[in-house]
Structure 1
Amino acid sequence: MARANRELIDKLREAAAKIESGADYCWGHVGHCNCGHLAQCITPLTSSEIYQRAYSQALEEWSEYAQDYCPSSGAPMDMIMDAMFAIGLELKDIHQLEYLSNQQVLNALPGGFRYLRKGQRSDAALYMRTWAALMEVELYEKQKHLSAYAPALT
């Protein structure tokens, strides 16, 4: 799963808030889907700019962009993927976010495990918020662990 860090946590929550507040949301549109909203929060690009870059590569889904990703290609979508990876995401996170399928996130949902529906605005936001909360716990645990060893380091 993604490398837990404050910036990624904040961007996931920002994307969830945009989706919940009524921003254009359409699972089949590369700029308005789960990954599209997160990409808008991570990069300075609008949904239209993301769509234009995606259209130039003639692929249809973020999972295809992740599968085709080549860091040295200079392809328009690869540059967006570079920004997403720089913030801590991994290739598998792209597919899992698009399909709301990470088992750790699903296990941590309020009310317990259940499958979420791709293309459902409320499910996408819930998934992102739950994922952010999981990473926040991970950061807290790391900090607590480091604090336990801090006196020995001085």
Structure 2
Amino acid sequence: MSAPKFELIAAIRNTIDKLKKGSPYQWGHMGSCNCGNLAQELIHLSKAEIHRFAMEKSGDWNDQLIDYCPDSGYPMDLMISKMLEKGLTINELRHLEKLSDPKILKNIPFPKRDHLKKNKLSDVLLYFETWLEMLENQWLEESVKLDAIMLQKNNLDKVFA
């Protein structure tokens, strides 16, 4: 799992909130599917813009992630690059589209984890919420470690002053 970045955590939280409030969800639409909804929040494009850019190449999100080339000049590849810059990995995006990341799934109780449907909004929300909780916990753990390092450094500075 990628190192959590605050901007990614906020985008996932906003995606969840928008979907719960009725934002368009359609798994077969590149701008309003699992990745498309997150892309709207993360790179601030509309579902129509995302879909239009995606249609310049062939295939769904998974196909385009396989064919991703940061130097191609295709708008879809530029969008993916922007998402990677915000803290995602190619594998996380591929798993998001299919709700298939083993690290996230192991945090979803049985029997639900074995029956997630990639095009069912309630399952998408469960996946996003589980992922969000994992990223927030990781963020907190890293913050505590950083605080401990800074505290130790400050104490050493006092000793050697």
**Fold equivalence (TM over 0.5):** yes
- Return the alpha-carbon distance in structure 1 between the equivalents of residues 98 and 23 of structure 2: 19
Q: How does 1:44-123 map to 2 (within 5 A)?
A: 44-59=44-59, 61-109=60-108, 111=109, 114-115=113-114, 116-123=116-123
Q: What amino acid is aligned across from residue 31 of structure 2 in structure 1?
A: G
Deviates more, 1:2-11 or 1:32-41: 2-11
**Is 1:126 equivalent to 2:126 in the alignment?**
yes
Shift of 1:146: 2.0
Q: In the alignment, what sits opposite 2:151?
A: 151
CA RMSD of aligned residues (A): 1.4
Q: Deviations over 1:108-145 (max 9, x none)?
A: 23x45613211011111111121111011011111112
Structure 2: 5+ residue runs without aligned partners? 155-161
The separation in 2 between residues aligned to 1:44 and 1:143, in whole angstroms, is 27
Using CA pairs under 8 Å that are at least 6 residues apart, name the structure with larger relative contact order, 1 or 2: 1
Deviations 1:2-52 (A, max 9, x none): 221111011011111222221211111111100000011112211111111
Q: Number of matched residues?
A: 152
The 5 A counterparts of 1:26-45 are 26-45=26-45
Is the Cα–Cα contact under 8 Å of residues 20 and 122 in structure 1 kept in the other structure? Answer: no
What fraction of aligned residue pairs are identical, expressed as a percent? 36
One-letter code aligned to 2:26 = C
| 1:52-75 C-alpha deviation (Å, 9 max, x unpaired) | 11111122x111111111111111
TM-score (norm 1): 0.92
Q: Which residue of 2 aligns with 1:137?
A: 137
SS of residue matched to 2:129: helix
